[in-house]
Structure 1
Amino acid sequence: MSGIVSYLVFFLIQALVFAVVCLGLNLQWGYTGLFNIGVSGFYLVGAYAFALLCGPAHARIVGGLHLPFVVGLVGSMVAAGVVAFVVGIPTLRLREDYLAIVTIGIGTTLQLIALNANALTGGSRGLTDIPRPLPGLVDGVFSRNLLLLGLMIVIVIVLYAALEAMVRSPWGRVLKAIREDEQAAASLGKNAFSYRLQSFVIGSAVMGLGGALYASFIGYISPEDFMPILTFQIWSMLIVGGSGNNKGAMLGAVLMWAVWTLSGSAAQALLPATMQIKGGAAQIILIGLVLMVVLVLRPRGLIGEEAVVSHGAELDATASVP
């Protein structure tokens, strides 16, 4: 029984990490229409920034500043946001497909840099001894994971509340207007490029936060943790949950991570040893099937974007009732 509880805690922590990343992608795609296929790259930047800021000093790498946990989280968001700003300046004025091409290239490039910049990232060996939050407060792996789960829940709630306030504000309504009709928004005096850049930077910073939380949870990162398949996973979570709805983004993260982990366990249990090497391919096929079913039955996702009715429309509807 204790093993099941321990695994459930582990599962929920990782699911909440993905929920954070999905919230960042939802701000970009769900509310602004920015097609970012480089999610794994910004996730990577956040993870490595946290490891270099908060990890212990190593003779073979630069960094290891051993800074406080909160400083590492903020630093990871700033690092991912700066990368997004540099990428967004030349690309967000172009068509959406150019952003997709650039971001997928950036994601791959950042992973290759992490693989080869041994003095900064540890290369293929990765970075170890990444500290957990509040070290020394509790003893035992389960107690530390339980503490981290509680902290993750608080972070996700605060992040959700902050993003909800942002997208329901006039700023968020401008993002939706740009998503629906950029020319109409520009005709009303809104600088579409500026708003798109803000959304891109903030969303990427949130992805960087997810990377930092992952690094702190696992305690070890390597370039293999940030393969392009990660971007596919995050997108599938958002599509299934429902883009344009922060609740849907979080729900999709939990559900699709459950599908991924359960299918992996089933492959190990059911497939012969000679076939288990292909279990990863079976997982991807299953994710694709789930996507197809959801898109057919609920094209807007399990919890799609909420329809917003203006106050004037409500008055008109009321007046038309006899």
Structure 2
Amino acid sequence: MLIQNPPSIPTLLIAIVVCYLRNTKLVVDWHNFGYTILALKLGDSHPLVSISRLYELTLAKYAYRHLTVTNAMRDVLIKDLHLGNVLPLHDRPASLFQPLSDNEKGIFLDRCAYTADEAVNIAQGRTRLIVSSTSWTADEDFSVLLDALCTYSAKAISDSPQLPELLVVITGRGPLKDYYLGQIDRAVKDQKLEMVKIRPAWLTFDDYARLLGSADLGVSLHTSSSGVDLPMKVVDMFGTGLPVLGYGNFIAWPELVQDGVNGKSFSNSEDMATAFVQLLDPADKELENLRQGALRESQRRWSSEWNPVAGRMFELID
């Protein structure tokens, strides 16, 4: 039996009981640790977090084998829990996330309600399209992006007239969305975003994939509750050949994003603003170099990851 973790409560316990009753082996596919996600809401010192950690890490020892989305997570399971049979299996994008031709980009940008009025400017490079997918939660601090965009706008107006205008499309839903939309409105009223348009969007999976494939730069605000997981949104961006600017102050980040090759990292809003100015300057070629790196990354698909690891584990291939 193969289960994904998290969620761990009560899934992990139920799976162990079912496997015992059916004399079946259990494989846990670790994407993160449930107790670290709970700690984001309750705090590290909350009793329920301690109970969740004990539950999750104790029951993990009853699994036959383990898959992890990063090498760093594998190391935690081996060194801290003394588990054996732990194999890293990195996430790869679904098949709908593919690079688009210039013609396909143009058709989508003309059709999409969030980009149609800027489609010509995007195609001609006068406007750059930036995409970020966020859960609008505490572990993805949208204020970092908003502050960076305000700084970019001020610099473009004051002393860098060569910088293009930005269309920033933000996808996703979450508990803090209304709060941050209010912050955006306030920044607009205060004339802090004169060179930037921010548009929240809700798209079908197919259109989201096309939006990524049509963008100039993807932004990840994922900070990692455990430090050893990776954001699937970045995997999807790479699937379309989209270079990524993301928060990189956690252990597992370099396993996915190679700084200066397929993306860049930041640690605060100042770093992000500096990266925007550098990458989006028409005279700078780094963004195109990062795109070539992201396109190379897009060639890595599930078959190349799954078959050598899980395929052999489940004896599906020789």
TM-score tier after normalising by the smaller chain length: under 0.3
Q: Which structure dedicates a bigger proportion of its chain to strand? A: 2
TM normalised by structure 2 equals: 0.25
Q: Which structure dedicates a bigger proportion of its chain to helix? A: 1
Which has the higher relative contact order, 1 or 2, with Cα contacts under 8 A spaced 6 or more apart? Answer: 1
